[in-house]
Structure 1
Amino acid sequence: MTTTSQFNGLPLPAYTLDRQLVIIEGSAEAIELFGDCRIFTDIVDEESLNKAKTLLSSEVLQPKFELNFISRKGELFLADVYGKRSDSGSLSLVVVPKDNQLERVANQLAKLRERLRETDYDLFQEKERTVELLQRVRELSAPYIQLDANRLLVPLFGDLTEEQVQAFSPRLLANIYETRAETVIFDLTAMGKITDGGLQQLADLLQSLTIMGTASIFTGVKPEHAKHLHQMQAKLPMRFLSSLQQVLSSNRWTS
């Protein structure tokens, strides 16, 4: 490719191409930006390649269009291309870079992706913390109170779900083993509904208490609780009293 006088003094990349898009002439600015190339499409980015071939091969050339280019340094940038076809069929093109707009957008996109990755990590940490706090809330939803050497009180709060019973059961069983408590009093006064999963987990807990030789007493039972607990009463040794005050004042339930 040679430089001809028609481009002298032109401060922009410019080319003259034949019908096969072979570069006939190029400006000094074009050589500086893209190097010494033989075919115009060699400097066009792959994503713009089909567009460039279609537009430049058309008999009716658009006076202005956009293409992505790759410089000789490997830099990607967007440019406006101004073109004109001569009577002989050759093309005269002037490439006007769009002030590194594509590079700036690409940098902004990279920064945005990095922020999203950081946000995802922060959200993951918050999720882990939330799970831990939720587990702690479930454990505390059934705190046990040691009334004396033989009795533990377990006041239940909120809905009795599978997750809730699974959360407080290990601590309760461990405490019973350490204190050798003979009776566990479950107070349902502040408890909401009982789910099917919660009922099954409660049955498993009571079975474990029976094996350990620990009696179970239920108090504060509401009508909506009774129909669920009645199903277990036939299978497990369970005792019921109307109020916690009655349990605490009745010596016959202490052993």
Structure 2
Amino acid sequence: MSTIKYAPLPVFIMDEEMNILAQSDEAAALFGEVQHFLEIVDEDSQNKARKRLGQKKKIKTELVMHSRKAKMSLYTVNCKWEQDKAHVICVEEDSQIRILSEKIEQHTARLSETDLELLLQKERLEKAMNRVIELSGPFIHLSNNMVLIPLFGDLFEEVIMKNEHRLLRQIDEETVDRVIIDFNGIGQIDERGVAALEHLIWEFQLMGVQIYLTGVTPDHSQWLHQYHFQANVKSISNLGQVIHQFFTTA
């Protein structure tokens, strides 16, 4: 079990249940003392990790992982099985992805704090609710020509209508040709909300903007299908993957 201790990369040896049997000093320094491999894999990547790494053959894949230096980073994971043991090497991809992910998390945290603070002021409840709705579609620059619009709460018509003018104005005033709409913070969806979103996407596209959807869950997909969502958009399941794709192909 000590043969990988001095390996110059983060290396793990794990069994068929993904229990860690040994790890290199580099792995311990980066991830800490790990008992089970999924401890350091982001929740959204855990099913992928089970399926890909459990195939018992030489595999190369990408997983979003948690380390001591960053809560969320994209790693290239190489796995090779020898009988009932797997040798796993984890190499961090672009640090830019980690920086962008942390920026998004910080924005979400600020939104939550603002939401709570406003809602506690009962005499300003109506104004607070309107402000929360307006904050449900922030405009986050990922690069000079690409922005992220994460949606929060339930996707109702009011959420889109209260944000539509501001978002269109920002698109018009800046050089933007890619917009990523993130569904990770969306709860329920109703028919009028889908129609309003479809109209907003159509207006974006009239301005020459390519639209991408990410974070769409099976429940979201069912609602979108039920309410006949037909916008011409590209769907990518993982936000880290879409950012990685754009920044590595730019």
TM range (shorter): 0.3 to 0.5
Q: TM-score, normalised by structure 2?
A: 0.47
Structure (1 or 2) with the larger CA radius of gyration? 1
Q: TM-score, normalised by structure 1?
A: 0.46
